[in-house]
Amino acid sequence: DLPSPPGPLSDTSAKLVNVPTHPYIAPGPNDIRGPCPGLNTLANHGYIPRNGIVTPGQIVEAVQEGFNMGNDFARFLAYAAHLVDGNLLTNLLSIGGKTLETGPDPPAPAIVGGLNTHRVFEGDASHTRVDTFLGDNHNFNETLFDKVSFSNKFGNGFYNFAVAKEFRFQLIQDSIAANSQFLFTLPRYFSAYSESCFPIFFWIDGRNPTGNLDLDVARSFFETARFPKGFFRANTPTTLKRILGGIDILYDAHPVGPGANNGTVNSYTVDPTSPDFSNFCGIYAGFVTHIVRPLYPDAQGPLLEALNKNLDFLYSATVIGNMGCTQVPHFT
Ligand code: HEM
Ligand code: MG
């Protein structure tokens, strides 16, 4: 039987997380890393297994302990990722590329490709990783990071909401102009806006109330995936409602609807069928129906059971977050 997801932290205060029991060790040749600098950091400090092969429960536990992600949001991301990128039969997920280490795959069209897989979670207009159509979607890219020089223009040398508002919009404009295959619908629409807030909510030291992220600290996480010396995690859990509040700040500055280029550059067209941020339950339901379901059109037996169980865990996130969503019915 699949283990139930971990509950919330009992103490959500700021605390030292770069501790001697979780030392930074650079990944070895067989350790897998991927497009998420947060999970890469947790692996490099042993909060999740250093080989980069994890269970969704281990992710929930670690993002709470290391970064004070709220239980609702942690469940939402961990089970969403596992449902599309993980092996539902072995309960293992690669935080990077596809590997035999997650065990024998269920049948195609299931991908079980790890977090590097394009479209189902990883997507375009990332801050420090190139669009898949244009290059390497998972390793740190210095040219992209240099655009964080936006921070000098809008944030007095720090990354903060004033910067994130402009940077998110600029990254979208850049992909529209350069990537004929630019895809910015569900789930990427939601993850791209959330991730622009993550450096502010998760990487500013929990004792620092300014809302300003030092760029050396940003680089330490984005590039090296390493906690700064003496780093305290945030003092406030980032819940679903909190992240949606952050997203609104960015969206209101430059509203862009979910959409895509249609095969040529500069052809961005809004897709009215892809839910926007005013409809979180639509994001949840659309993900289950349009992203997860096509990977498992005719699952049966233990696979179907695991699929529905993980969908229950995903839905539990919306219940804990008081989002008022109706559960998408089990697949049969
Ligand atoms: C990006 C997964 C938690 C920070 C990503 C991406 C994936 C991912 C697949 C690539 C998306 C893309 O840019 O195309 C997850 C999962 C999590 C999680 C499953 C489970 C809870 C976190 C946490 C942090 C974090 C706790 C911060 C401490 C980021 C940032 C990016 C990102 C900043 C954007 C990278 C960029 O645009 O260059 N994550 N993540 N993530 N993640 Fe995570
Ligand atoms: Mg990406």
DSSP string, 261-323: --SSTT--EE-TTS--TT-HHHHHHHIIIIIIGGG-TT--HHHHHHHHHHHHHHHHHHHHTT-
Q: Is 202 in the pocket of ligand 1 (CB under 6 A)?
A: yes
CA of 46 to the centre of ligand 2 (A): 24
Residue 47 CB neighbour total at 10 angstroms: 22
Ligand nearest to the CA of 195: 1
Decide if 56 contacts 86 (C-beta within 8 A): yes
Question: How far does the centroid of ligand 2 lie from the alpha carbon of residue 196, in Å?
Answer: 12
Q: In terms of DSSP bridges, do strands 93-94 and 53-54 run parallel, antiparallel, or are they unpaired?
A: antiparallel
Query: How many angstroms is it from 22 CA to the middle of ligand 1?
Result: 20
Here the tokens at position 261 are 């280029």
Distance CA 195, CA 173 (A): 17
Contact 268, 182 (CB under 8 A): yes
Q: If you measure from the C-alpha of residue 28 to the centroid of ligand 2, how many angstroms do you get, rounded to a whole number?
A: 23
Give the number of the atom of ligand 1 that is nearest the alpha carbon of residue 140: 38
- Cα–ligand 1 centroid distance for 19 (angstroms): 22
Q: Going by CA atoms, what residue is nearest to atom 8 of ligand 1? A: 36
Residue 205 CB contacts under 8 Å (≥ 6 apart), including other chains: 14, 217, 228, 231, 232
Q: Whose CA is nearest to atom 32 of ligand 1?
A: 36
Ligand 1: residue of 185, 195, 205, 221 to mutate (most ligand atoms within 8 A of CB) is: 195
Rounded-to-integer distance, Cα 130 and Cα 126, Å: 7
Q: Which residue puts its alpha carbon closest to atom 23 of ligand 1?
A: 38
Instruction: For ligand 1, say whether the CB of 172 is within 6 Å of any of its atoms.
Output: no
pLDDT for 153 equals 84
Q: Whose CA is nearest to atom 28 of ligand 1?
A: 38
Contact 112, 87 (CB under 8 A): yes
Residue of 267, 247, 264, 252 lying closest to 192 (CA atoms): 247
Query: Is the peptide bond preceding residue 199 cis, with omega within 30 degrees of 0?
Result: no
Task: Provide the 10 A C-beta neighbour count for residue 18.
Answer: 18
pLDDT tens for the chain, 332 residues: list them. 899 999 999 999 999 999 999 999 999 999 999 999 999 999 999 999 999 999 999 999 999 999 999 999 999 999 999 999 999 999 999 999 999 999 999 999 999 999 999 999 999 999 999 999 999 999 999 999 988 767 888 899 999 999 999 999 999 999 999 999 999 999 999 999 999 999 999 999 999 999 999 999 999 999 999 999 999 999 999 999 999 999 999 999 999 999 999 999 999 999 999 999 999 999 999 999 999 999 999 999 999 999 999 999 999 999 999 999 999 999 99
DSSP state of 206: T
Whole-number Cα distances in Å, 290 to 7, 282, 285: 28, 11, 8
Q: How far apart are CA 263 and CA 237, in angstroms?
A: 40
Q: What is the ipTM of this complex?
A: 0.99
- pLDDT value of position 150: 79
Measured between alpha carbons, how far is 142 from 222 in angstroms, rounded to an integer?
A: 10
DSSP codes, 226-251: -PPTTPBPPSS-B-HHHHHHHHHHHH
Q: How many residues does the chain have?
A: 332
Check residue 140 and give its pLDDT: 98
Residue from 39, 60, 94, 182 to probe ligand 1 pocket by mutation (most atoms less than 8 Å from CB): 39
